[in-house]
Amino acid sequence: MSSGHSKSLVFMLLVLKLCSIHTSAGGNTNTTVTCLPSDASTLLRLKRSFLNSTNLTSWQAGTDCCRWEGIVCDTTTRQVIMLDLSEFDVKSRGLDPALFNLTSLRNLSLASSDFMGASMPSVGFELLTEMVHLDLSNTGFIGQVPIGIAQLTKLVTLNLSIIYASNLVLKEPSFQTLIANLSSLQELSLDGVDISSSGETWSIALANSTPRLEILTLSNCGLSGSIHSSFSQLHSLAEIDLTGNTIVGEVPEFFVDFPFLSKLDLTSNDFEGLFPARIFQQNHLRVLSVAGNPKLSGHLPNFPVENKLEQLILAGTNFSDAVPESIVNLRSLSVLVLSTDGTSKQLSLFGELPSLEVLMLLGSSGLEKPGFSWIGNLRHLTTLELYNYNFSEPIPSWIGNLTNLVSLELVMCNLYGAIPPWIGNLTQLSFIHFGQNYLTGKIPRSLFALPELQQLRLLSNQLSGHLEEIETPLSSSISFIELTDNQIGGSIPQSYFQLTSLEGLFLGSNKLTGTVDLSSFWRLKNLFSLTLSNNMLYLIDEEGDSLFPSLPPIQSLMLSSCNLTKLPSVLRYLNEITELDLSSNQINGVIPSWVWENWNGHLSYLNLSHNMFTGLEKSPSLVPMGSIYVLDLSYNRLEGDVPIPIIRSGRTDIILDYSNNYFNSILPSVGRYLGKTSYLDLSSNKIRGHIPTSVCNASELQILDLSYNYFSGVIPSCLAQRKLGVLKLRGNQIHGVLSDGIREGCMLETIDLSHNYISGKLPRSLSNCRDLGLLDISDNQIADSFPSWLGALPKLQVLVLRSNQFSGLITDLQDNDQIMNHFSSLQILDLASNQFSGNLPKEWFNELESMKENGNDDGQVVGHQINVEVGFYRDDITITYKGSDLIFTKILTTFKVIDLSNNSFVGNIPESIGSLVSLHGLNMSYNNFMGQIPSQLGNLTRLESMDLSWNHLSGEIPQQLTSLTSLSWLNLSYNNLTGRIPQGNQFLSFPSTSFEGNTGLCGNPLSTQCDGPDSTTPIISQEPSGLWQDRLEAILLLTFSGLGFGVGFTLAIMFRRFFHIEGWVGKHFCIRM
């Protein structure tokens, strides 16, 4: 919100400047100057390049171009000196080079024109040597800023800003090169332009090259490093906006010495240390925002009476919420944004600020209820925003006193109950946002009756009932309705299709029903965003082509789970679409080529997953999608080559998901086109061949999933040398040994190479992957000793080595001072089905600190944040749990498991396992353990699954195990246990199979009863079981003897194992014979 306010101010300044330009243009329209024919010809050619040139009605051949809209001519030379198209919404597929014939231009503004993802001309700008003011903001250009602009040495104003995505980049030329000769610059606006390649030298370059700079806006530019001391030379700076970068270090105190400084916006960076209190008292300062710098601390100083501060924005910092009494001296303060728990009585001092119009408070959802009743005294308040508080009550009644409110936001405030009807008395309200609360009941009719209402956002509540018709919809000023994620049922009211001012309608994730003709929405001529996903609607598309020429400017269309059976025919005519979601429908056939031909340059989000598409028209290997950042084609029936988008935007967080299809090949040079891709998922396809080494050219790739294909050959060693954080190659045909060339700085966090044919040893250079959290190499052919050296990795949480050829001892680590705290973060250890042997050292388990934590069971999900739009990528593993092989697609950090089954461990079960109190699963079956079950296992109160079967354990089952009230699966079968089975708690629910094969056990649930109520001795049947077993063994041996002694004897022993007869002997003899 704070950055939004500051950006609005910048926008208003820009508008004022443009208005002044138009005034001067209008002043020249009465002159007798006539334009040069060459200039007129150039302008007409430029007009023909626009797709909607009808907006330029005065641009007609044979008329004086000096009188055309947006044109100003020099009164002496008759040459065009100003071209301003910022108010004509022109569109073009590229900037016509004819523009550069206007070499006398001093003012050029193409702001807010749409060049549909085209690149700026690489040559031509250098011809405009008289240029003083150049404004190409929000023009839809992408790619490299041309070097010709760097040669416009007379520039006073340069604006290349982008509001939304960073599609422009300054790399060649660099930022330093661009401004090196622009010493006359007074205003520089590059918001959203990627200048990260400048490194930490950007502030030095500004100080050296732009001594006259007055206005500097570089928000969201990828700036890093600290602000250099040479920046203090820019004494003329009046406005500084560095929002949304990663600038570090302390806020320079030399800002105090900028005599004209009126605005300082450092929102959303990484500043730290103590904020210089003197800046608050700078004479001309009107706007101060340092929000979103959590390591920045400070306090509000004593404010003098003459302080002129108008906007104070400190939310998301570590500032003290102590309020000095002198706060009342801020007589001009109109905007206040703070982080506070809301409990301080000093906050009531803000109630005495006479000019306060905007109040935004951010809490921390603490247990205490905030005390905000004083806000009800701020009768001049027009905007109230409260975020993340624990009101634990209905919407407070004191809000009803704020009769001048225009905007009211109560978000994540734990509000419940119905929306009170008195909200309808706040007749000035135009914006209502009650999202992410627990509000219930129907939406009051009085809300829609508010005469000034423009936006109503009630997303993520528990609202129910049906939507009522809106009275007089044709005269309603409502532009946005957001009711996503509620429980609203019934049909969409007909009056919604008559809201002529409606721009956004968001009804997704409700219980809406009925059949809706999609063409009903095309009557809403201002509609640019429509979401109907995840309801029970049936969308039909029956309108003919006659309506298509008058379509609304739809940019975002979300129709997931709408029972569509075909692509809506209107789509190919929606030329401004940027986001399209048709996932989870029943659409079949091929994806038409107009998807990338018509929308290239502006389509940024395309989700066609979970349908029945079979291919792409023309079967392209490469598709032009210049602005795409999310492409999801997963869960279809697509065949052939994987279609790789050709991307020209500057974003480096591009998501490509082709998983769960029938693709069978991929371009060998695929990496050439993945330079800006951060996520690539090709899992569950039919792709064959080697992994293309060109993938290593994808320098921004963070997550690579090639699982469940037919890739063969070896793993390219270069994959570990990039930014790659997740490498998943599970279920392929990869063979050979793993490269031992992993260097320091490895960024891998997840490695899953399971279910392949990898041999050799684990590379010791894996220890260079200091962020490694999950390593799964199960079901391969790796022959090595236990990798104790992995224990030095501080973040290793999951280690799965099952089903390989690991062997040898797990040595006692306590004897080595260099391996203290080994495996301290480990939560899942799976060594099953290897050839490990020897005793388990009793002190080894004391190293597993994470399993000894006795916290709650909530935990975080193990995975990786992809980006804000897409969300979280979760790691998954397959382990044996409760007797079955289970795939865990969501691993909580509190889920702790040890599986040592199917090895050759001997000796006693270490008592130290009993200290792993957060353990959920323990499997030590199919080993050679002997001795008694340690009573200390009764300390594992969170244990849900324990398998100690097929060992040599003896003695009685410890009574302490009955305290394991979470235990739902237990297997102690086929040991030498004796005595009465403990009774009570979970033991009353276990079947007899949990205890079978222990001839000395008695009591429920076994059929063998103990001899007397207090006896631990079973009642022996007349025929000893051993005699019965001997007879059956003889029968089996004679039965199979006809097959030959070796085969017959082996099959007899295997048959014994199958029927659980002396199971351990059968198992070990057959497997290891």
Please, what is the average pLDDT of the chain?
87
Which string of b and e fits 425-442 if b means at least 16 CB within 10 Å? Answer: ebeebbbbbbbbbebbee
Q: What is the mean pLDDT of residues 490-519?
A: 95
Ramachandran sector of residue 691 (left: φ over 0; alpha: ψ -120 to 50; beta: rest) = beta
pLDDT of residue 1018: 66
Per-residue pLDDT reduced to its tens digit, 766-795: 999 999 999 999 999 999 999 999 999 999
Instruction: Say if residues 930 and 953 touch (Cβ distance below 8 Å).
Output: yes
Instruction: Say if residues 4 and 216 touch (Cβ distance below 8 Å).
Output: no
| Residue 298 pLDDT greater than 70, yes or no | yes
Q: What is the DSSP string of 840-897?
A: PPTTGGGG-GGGG----S---B-EEEEETTTEEEEP-EEEEETTEEEEESS-BTT--E
Instruction: Say if residues 576 and 598 touch (Cβ distance below 8 Å).
Output: no
Per-residue pLDDT reduced to its tens digit, 91-135: 999 999 999 999 999 999 999 999 988 899 999 999 999 999 999
971 vs 365, more confident: 971
Q: What is the mean pLDDT of residues 462-489?
A: 94
Instruction: Say if residues 124 and 100 touch (Cβ distance below 8 Å).
Output: yes
- β-pair type (921-923, 511-517): unpaired
pLDDT of residue 29: 41
Shortest CA distance to 266 belongs to which of 282, 285, 287, 235? Answer: 287
| Residue 1068 pLDDT greater than 60, yes or no | no
SS (H, E, C) 92-152: CCCCCHHHHHCCCCCEEECCCCECCCCECCCCCHHHCCCCCEEECCCCCCEEECCHHHHHC
Q: What is the mean pLDDT of residues 680-706?
A: 93
φ/ψ of residue 1039, rounded to 5: -65, -40
Q: What is the mean pLDDT of residues 686-701?
A: 92
pLDDT of residue 285: 95
- Please give the Cα distance from 320 to 61 (Å, whole number): 66
Per-residue pLDDT reduced to its tens digit, 347-364: 889 989 999 999 999 998
Sign (positive/negative) of CA torsion 242, 246, 249, 250?
positive
Q: What is the DSSP string of 181-238?
A: T-TT-SEEE-TT-B-GGGTT-HHHHHHHH-TT--EEE-TTS--EEPPPGGGGG-TT--
CA distances to 266, 412, 424, 486, 611 from 462, rounded to whole Å, are 38, 13, 20, 5, 30
Q: How confident is the model at residue 206 (pLDDT cuts 50, 70, 90)?
A: very high
φ/ψ of residue 326, rounded to 5: -70, 0
Specify the 3-state DSSP secondary structure of 1071.
helix
Question: Scanning the structure block, which residue is given the tokens 């079979």?
Answer: 614
Per-residue pLDDT reduced to its tens digit, 165-187: 557 899 888 999 999 999 999 99
| Residue 2 pLDDT greater than 70, yes or no | no
Residue 980's DSSP bridge partners are 1002
| Residue 397 pLDDT greater than 90, yes or no | yes
